[in-house]
Amino acid sequence: MGLQQGMTFELIRRVGDEVTAHHLGNEGFHVLATPIIVAWFEEAARTLAALHLEPGLGTVGALVTAKHLAPTPVGMTVTVKATLREMDGRRLLFDLEARDDTEKIAEGHNERIVVSVARFREKLARKQTS
């Protein structure tokens, strides 16, 4: 694998109405929703890994933690940074941070497992036919 401890990747997203707490059912809160931050955390970590894995390999999420620190209104830009902190065999651990235009808004971790995409699909197919 070409992955190395300390590698980073940044993901940039704009906060639109479709990613607000209000849109997800928490009426009246027109700010970036926590579940969206979690999804963006996973996307950043997954992308960092994918950029450096051999063909035929991918990652699956095993654990995500997120601490939402501050609200972000519609219209702001959010930068999510994933840093590969640890590698242990197929296990990858990422440190995550999200910042909006003014401050740090979230932090967390994502544990991902490197898998053979073909073997993963085979296991899934067996499960679907049982």
For residues 58 and 66, the answer to whether their CB atoms sit within 8 Å is no
27 labelled catalytic: no
Measure the CA–CA gap between 130 and 119, rounded to whole angstroms.
Answer: 17
Q: Residue 70 and residue 68: Cα distance in Å, rounded?
A: 6
Structure tokens at 16: 């639109």
In the set 10, 22, 30, 34, the catalytic residue is: 34
What is the bridge-based pairing of β-strands 104-116 and 57-68?
antiparallel
Catalytic residue status for 42 = yes
H or E element, residue 49: helix 34-50
Q: Point out the catalytic residue in the list 20, 68, 72, 107.
A: 68
Quick check: is 65 catalytic?
no
Q: Annotated catalytic residue: which of 42, 72, 83, 109?
A: 42
| Residues acting as catalytic residues | 34, 42, 68
